[in-house]
Chain A
Amino acid sequence: MLLVYLTLGLIIGVISPVFFDGIERKLKAYLQSRIGPPITQTLYDLLKLINKEVKPIHTTPFIVLYLLSFISSTLASILMVEIYVYTGESLYITLGLSLLAISLTSLTIAPLLVPNPFSYAGGMREVVLALINESAFIVSVTMYISLINNLLQTEALSIPLVLSVITITITMFVSGYALTGRAPFDIAEAEPELASGILVEFSGKLLAAYLYCNLLKRFLITLITAGVITAPLIKHSVFSLATTFVLTVLLWIVFAVISVTLGRSRVDLAPKTLAKTYILFISLSITGLLVHAYG
């Protein structure tokens, strides 16, 4: 039965990001007083791009390899997160996070292989953001699981521990949001500034693949965030899997709404602000934990 659920979950993971993006576009349009495209528009866009010719660059084979590496590691990561949610075994989330690190590295490197100043500038921006956000996300997710389990097992309510959980949850949300590349952290693409930056030389099937990879990345990060929230609360059931997917949709919508209210930051501003935020909140969380343990 587990196999059936997991296969179903994987299929949802492969297909749903395309429609989630459609929902996001529709929602943004509503908030901006526009009608917007139908929620199937992203699918149409990708299908149309697949049928267009690729204008090849000499590094195309390497880029394709990196994208394949991203897709395979991301799908494996999705599977691991689902198993974690279903079983509650921490080993699987550890594997999921390791695979996430591999997949994000693959996706970050791909634009750096493009011989174009816009792509290079965009790629370097992505590297800077990834260095800060990836580590913050992985650390905060790991800490959150540990802290929330601790909190759930504590009989008397510990204020320092609650504060510790709250601060690390904020870190997890912020770093997760930043990793999805939405405003104000969409500096790698930055359409009006860098002529679409990392996307500038991609065309046809290659562009479709890259865009799809980005959607898959968003899905995985949102799924991990939703999964680690759900798993400790609803263990060992199909219901926990279903709740995780529902929470993933809700988080995706929340992220979409946040992105509408913000503008784009700059590469010299965003990493500094994020680094300061992460250091502050992770320090607060550790302090809370220490006070709880030794106070």
Chain B
Amino acid sequence: MLMDRNHIIQEYISLAKSLNGNVTIDNDTLHIIIPKESLVEIADKLFNKYQCDFRTCIGVDERPVNGYFSMTYVFTDNRNSLYLLIKTYIDSLNPSTPSIMKVVPAVDWCEMEARDLLGIEFTDREQYKLVLPPGWPDNVYPLRKEVPYNYRPLLRGTSEKISPSTELGVIPIGPYHPALHEPEYFELYVEGERVIDVKYRGFHVHRGIEKLAETRMTYQQVNFLAERICGICGFEHSTCYALAVEKAAKLDVPERAQYIRSIILEVERIHSHLLWLGVAFHVVGYDAGFMHMWRIREKIMYLAELLTGSRKTYGINLIGGVRKDINEDKKQKTLETLRELEKEFRELIEIAINVPQVKKRLSGTGLLPKEDAVKFSVEGPVARASGVNKDARRDQPYAAYKYTSFKVPVYTEGDNMARALVRINEIFESISIIEQLLDKIPRGPIMLEDFDIPEGKIGVQVVEAPRGGDVHFVITGHGKPYRWRVRAPTYNNIPALKIMLKDQPLADAPLTIASIDPCFSCTDRILVIRENGKREWLRITTGV
């Protein structure tokens, strides 16, 4: 719904007030506190009438502060650059609230995560265990403040079967599979070589980093933890966290630091997209494309090292600015490398994308219609390939993106080829963005000198990572975040895979899974649990 920004803000305020809500405006964020009876109605209006984008929801244990639990639902109005935080308080003795899943299907996982980690029950929906492992004790909710971060229950090993593996026509993909680089499990039901249904099981390696940050880390240390959420787009996470805290604390970060952040964010995007293209070519058996794409990617790794000192996991973000500056010499080398990279990439991609098998297998496979993309609130290239025109760099401008001009590639086909083309176009746009930023980068400090972070403030930020919007939500505490919630884009993209895989050839299933550029957990347990519940440890010499 396109209208004047002030007008739409007034509409949101009127809507909230008509539902007995209370509204506070803080720069680009509308904080709406609503009684839980009105939650479904306001969510319905925002998502279906005003076509706001649902990002995530956050459960918070506020009992030490006010005696309640709370649920906050994050929506964004992308056309008007607004964040809408819909918050409802929940009685701590009977933590239960209506689910908004019937009106916002994408809320499924985050509600169940809040149920697992905080013990909040959601009515009017099917409830299931999502994050906690089988055998986790009842009535222990890790994100409640009284549970220590190092709580380790004595878990009895249990095996979990989604369906009997002997069933004819069942193809298991994962948790360990050559096409998956992290542990996830897809069960494909096939008729011949056509997938007719899909079941998914994830969260094998939930790392509990939110709890870790909330209990034993300082504000600045969390930057480095945030960067380790992902081995590919870690800088997006640390930037997103820093921006959320800076927004909560109302810090005015030096402009030069914001420019450097944007430059590195784009370096990481190029790196990630080149990596993905290589993987996609490998999955369709075109290894020459894979190898050459990764050869070109080496240039961007060199660039990352030149600008940050590290090929990956740069560690330059801090709240208040960055730790590494860009001098004239680095600027020239960067521009030179980008010119070479652009030339080589253009030549290679024209050949690779036109290889008959690559073209045939990418086109018309892994279809995600626009209505499903909206329903699941998918993110990034997955959304843009299905005709959803959203990009946080343009819609919720942060860092130095407001000083740049770039196109947001959008395709309507919704297939694997469209997702590949979005990424290819974005590589060229990212090169252009870096060139513009280097040309305009202002002089000045790169770090804020002295600042305080007041307690009890809320900051939420969306950063457009290569895979889509990262969302970081922070409630400030004493010397550390009181609550830190992270939502990676894959969290919203995975549920859409069910649609994308159905009625497609089995051969293209790994390609379709790869097409969302999934980013699962990067760590793993080395404990093997047999079906009889017996535990065995991995031994280096003999295996299991």
The chain A residues found within 8 Å of chain B, CB to CB, are 28, 31-34, 117-118, 121, 183-184, 186-187, 190-193, 195-196, 260-269
- Among B346-373, those with CB < 8 Å from A are 355-358, 360-361
The reply to whether B285 and A184 form a contact with Cβ atoms under 8 Å apart is yes
The reply to whether B170 and A190 form a contact with Cβ atoms under 8 Å apart is no
Which residue in A117, A196, A260, A266 is a CB contact (below 8 Å) of B171? Answer: A117
Give 24 pairs: A residue, B residue, CB < 8 Å, sorted on A: A31-B288, A117-B170, A118-B171, A183-B285, A184-B285, A187-B507, A190-B285, A192-B283, A192-B285, A192-B510, A193-B283, A193-B506, A262-B356, A263-B281, A263-B286, A263-B358, A264-B285, A264-B357, A265-B361, A266-B360, A266-B508, A267-B507, A268-B193, A268-B505
A31-B288, A121-B171, A267-B507 known; A192 vs B282 contact (CB < 8 Å): yes
CA distance A183 to B178 in the complex (A): 18
User: Which chain B positions have C-beta within 8 A of A263?
Assistant: 281, 284-286, 289, 355-358, 361
User: Which chain B positions have C-beta within 8 A of A34?
Assistant: 291
Q: B207: CB under 8 A from chain A? A: no
CA distance A187 to B357 in the complex (A): 12
A32-B291, A192-B283 known; A269 vs B360 contact (CB < 8 Å): yes
Which residue in B172, B193, B283, B288 is a CB contact (below 8 Å) of A260? Answer: B288
Which residue in B171, B287, B291, B357 is a CB contact (below 8 Å) of A265? Answer: B357
A118-B171, A193-B510 known; A264 vs B284 contact (CB < 8 Å): yes
User: Which chain A positions have C-beta within 8 A of B283?
Assistant: 192-193
* Min CB gap A48→B, angstroms: 16
The reply to whether B287 and A32 form a contact with Cβ atoms under 8 Å apart is yes
The reply to whether A193 and B292 form a contact with Cβ atoms under 8 Å apart is no
Q: B407: CB under 8 A from chain A? A: no
- Of all chain A residues, which has the CB nearest B508? A266
CA distance A266 to B509 in the complex (A): 12
CA distance A117 to B169 in the complex (A): 8
The reply to whether A262 and B355 form a contact with Cβ atoms under 8 Å apart is yes
Which residue in B287, B505, B510 is a CB contact (below 8 Å) of A266? Answer: B505
The reply to whether B356 and A192 form a contact with Cβ atoms under 8 Å apart is no
Which residue in A31, A261, A268 is a CB contact (below 8 Å) of B355? Answer: A261
Which residue in B170, B177, B288, B295 is a CB contact (below 8 Å) of A261? Answer: B288
* Min CB gap B186→A, angstroms: 12
- Of all chain A residues, which has the CB nearest B190? A121
- Of all chain B residues, which has the CB nearest A266? B507
* Min CB gap B189→A, angstroms: 11
- Of all chain B residues, which has the CB nearest A31? B288
CA distance A193 to B365 in the complex (A): 15
The reply to whether B507 and A184 form a contact with Cβ atoms under 8 Å apart is no
User: Which chain B positions have C-beta within 8 A of A28?
Assistant: 287-288
User: Which chain A positions have C-beta within 8 A of B360?
Assistant: 265-266, 269
Q: B179: CB under 8 A from chain A? A: yes
Interface residue SS majority, chain A: loop
User: Which chain A positions have C-beta within 8 A of B356?
Assistant: 184, 262-263
- Among B131-190, those with CB < 8 Å from A are 170-172, 177-179
CA distance A262 to B193 in the complex (A): 22
User: Which chain B positions have C-beta within 8 A of A265?
Assistant: 357, 360-361
The reply to whether A33 and B295 form a contact with Cβ atoms under 8 Å apart is yes
Total residue contacts A-B, CB cutoff 8 A: 83
CA distance A10 to B288 in the complex (A): 34
Of A34, A183, A195, A268, most B-chain CB atoms within 10 Å: A195
CA distance A265 to B193 in the complex (A): 14
* Min CB gap B264→A, angstroms: 27
CA distance A196 to B178 in the complex (A): 8
User: Which chain B positions have C-beta within 8 A of A192?
Assistant: 178-179, 282-283, 285, 510
CA distance A119 to B291 in the complex (A): 27
- Of all chain A residues, which has the CB nearest B514? A192
Closest 4 CB pairs of A and B: A264-B285, A263-B357, A263-B286, A32-B291
Known: A193-B509, A262-B355, A264-B284. 10 other contacts (CB 8 A): A32-B291, A33-B291, A121-B506, A190-B285, A192-B178, A193-B179, A193-B283, A262-B356, A263-B284, A266-B361
CA distance A32 to B291 in the complex (A): 6
CA distance A269 to B362 in the complex (A): 13
The reply to whether A195 and B178 form a contact with Cβ atoms under 8 Å apart is yes
* Min CB gap A34→B, angstroms: 6
* Min CB gap B415→A, angstroms: 15
- Of all chain A residues, which has the CB nearest B361? A266
Of B177, B288, B360, B506, most A-chain CB atoms within 10 Å: B288
- Among B273-303, those with CB < 8 Å from A are 281-289, 291-292, 295
CA distance A25 to B24 in the complex (A): 65
* Min CB gap B423→A, angstroms: 18
User: Which chain B positions have C-beta within 8 A of A264?
Assistant: 284-286, 357, 361
- Of all chain B residues, which has the CB nearest A187? B507
- Of all chain A residues, which has the CB nearest B289? A263
User: Which chain A positions have C-beta within 8 A of B193?
Assistant: 121, 267-268
* Min CB gap B321→A, angstroms: 39
CA distance A162 to B172 in the complex (A): 52
User: Which chain B positions have C-beta within 8 A of A33?
Assistant: 291-292, 295
- Among B233-291, those with CB < 8 Å from A are 281-289, 291
User: Which chain B positions have C-beta within 8 A of A261?
Assistant: 288, 355
User: Which chain A positions have C-beta within 8 A of B292?
Assistant: 32-33
User: Which chain B positions have C-beta within 8 A of A267?
Assistant: 193, 505, 507
CA distance A266 to B358 in the complex (A): 11
* Min CB gap B530→A, angstroms: 16
Of A121, A186, A192, most B-chain CB atoms within 10 Å: A192
CA distance A268 to B194 in the complex (A): 10
* Min CB gap A53→B, angstroms: 11
User: Which chain A positions have C-beta within 8 A of B357?
Assistant: 183-184, 262-265
- Of all chain A residues, which has the CB nearest B283? A192
* Min CB gap B307→A, angstroms: 25
CA distance A192 to B510 in the complex (A): 7
* Min CB gap B42→A, angstroms: 45
User: Which chain B positions have C-beta within 8 A of A266?
Assistant: 360-361, 505, 507-508
Interface string of B40-73 (1 = CB under 8 A from A): 0000000000000000000000000000000000
- Of all chain A residues, which has the CB nearest B193? A267
- Among B116-139, those with CB < 8 Å from A are none
* Min CB gap B300→A, angstroms: 16
CA distance A85 to B357 in the complex (A): 37
User: Which chain A positions have C-beta within 8 A of B507?
Assistant: 187, 190, 193, 266-267
Interface string of B323-363 (1 = CB under 8 A from A): 00000000000000000000000000000000111101100
CA distance A190 to B177 in the complex (A): 12
CA distance A121 to B360 in the complex (A): 21
User: Which chain A positions have C-beta within 8 A of B506?
Assistant: 121, 193
User: Which chain B positions have C-beta within 8 A of A186?
Assistant: 285
User: Which chain A positions have C-beta within 8 A of B179?
Assistant: 192-193
